[in-house]
């Protein structure tokens, strides 16, 4: 459930009526989480609360978006909520993996909060294993989208104008029965469950994802957030928008610190 920050004042209200909720799926390469980092850091979003749940591995750390020594000692936990009222945007950042068998309870709690907070729509940033694509998915861009029926009515035409590519369904039984198609997002974590639950509950949700592999996934995060920006126009678009995103201070530690020179 959402727990507002005491310092947030009026901005920490649980009522986000008309806002777009942007969140990551904990998926291959952590691409969605890295892309969310770029959004929060670039837009200088304000932390307004926490998403309290027993479905995520507990964790605590320093402020990942520290800009000075004074705010570097602020603590962050596994699921936090940031807001930017001027853009009607609220962001849920997830920083730890899910506990086994806790996908469904988390989805139910999250979607219940979406309804109670009156969010207009949800956008999930995700990723999927590149090596598990079928022949059709190997063609063209490695970026894909999905829309629930309720959101399709509102923005389906825009997606066609942007020339975005919808996530293809794949054969349920390859080589045996290629006519029966299913939605398959290997490595996507909660993505498929969250999407199908939103379809059945009439929630407006979009999934924006990238096919990728584990490794240095920073380029994948930039590609995903640039793709999202084509739709939401979070920052002014230029030919090379990657240079416009502000890299958070915590990214200096993505691959650990170097060996101390004293060892040599």
**CATH at 143:** 3.40.50.10900
Domain coverage including residue 211? 15-43+101-235
3 state SS for 95-108: CCCECCCCHHHHHH
Determine the pLDDT at residue 259: 57
10-residue stretch averages of pLDDT, the chain, 264 residues long: 70 77 96 97 94 93 85 88 95 95 94 94 97 89 96 92 93 74 93 96 96 94 96 80 84 69 56
Domain total of the chain:
1
User: How many whole angstroms separate alpha carbon 117 and alpha carbon 23?
Assistant: 15
Is 38 contained in some domain?
yes
Determine the pLDDT at residue 239: 57
Is 72 contained in some domain?
no
Is 256 contained in some domain?
no
Q: For 227, how many CA atoms within 13 A lie in the half-sphere containing its CB?
A: 28
Decide: 60 and 77 in contact? Cβ < 8 Å. yes
Q: What are the tens digits of pLDDT across the range 158-189?
A: 999 999 999 999 887 776 767 788 899 999 99
Determine the pLDDT at residue 236: 84
Which among 187, 142, 190 has a CA at the least distance from the CA of 167? Answer: 142
Decide: 1 and 51 in contact? Cβ < 8 Å. yes
Is 127 contained in some domain?
yes
Is 170 contained in some domain?
yes
Determine the pLDDT at residue 237: 72
User: How many whole angstroms separate alpha carbon 124 and alpha carbon 210?
Assistant: 12
Determine the pLDDT at residue 67: 83
Is 120 contained in some domain?
yes
Is 250 contained in some domain?
no
Is 158 contained in some domain?
yes
């Amino acid at each position: 459930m959402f727990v507002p920050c005491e310092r947030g004042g009026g901005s920490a209200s649980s009522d986000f009526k008309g806002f777009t909720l942007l969140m990551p799926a904990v998926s291959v390469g952590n691409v969605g989480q890295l892309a969310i980092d770029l959004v929060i850091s670039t837009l200088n979003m304000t932390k307004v609360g926490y998403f309290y749940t027993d479905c995520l591995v507990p964790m605590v750390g320093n402020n990942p978006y520290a800009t000075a020594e004074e705010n570097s000692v602020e603590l962050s936990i596994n699921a936090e909520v940031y807001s930017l009222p001027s853009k009607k945007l609220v962001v849920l950042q997830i920083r730890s993996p899910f506990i086994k068998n806790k996908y469904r309870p988390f989805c139910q709690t999250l979607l219940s909060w979406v309804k109670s907070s009156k969010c207009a729509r949800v956008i999930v940033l995700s990723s999927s294993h590149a090596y598990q694509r079928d022949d059709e998915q190997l063609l063209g861009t490695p970026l894909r989208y999905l829309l629930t029926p309720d959101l399709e009515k509102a923005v389906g035409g825009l997606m066609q104008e942007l020339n975005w590519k919808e996530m293809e369904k794949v054969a349920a039984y390859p080589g045996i029965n290629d006519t029966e198609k299913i939605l398959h997002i290997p490595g996507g974590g909660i993505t498929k469950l969250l999407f199908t639950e939103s379809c059945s509950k009439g929630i407006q949700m979009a999934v924006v994802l990238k096919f990728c592999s584990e490794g240095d996934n920073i380029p994948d995060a930039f590609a995903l957030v640039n793709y999202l920006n084509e739709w939401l126009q979070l920052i002014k678009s230029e030919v090379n928008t990657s240079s416009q995103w502000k890299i958070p201070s915590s990214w200096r530690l993505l691959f650990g610190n170097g060996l101390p020179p004293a060892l040599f």
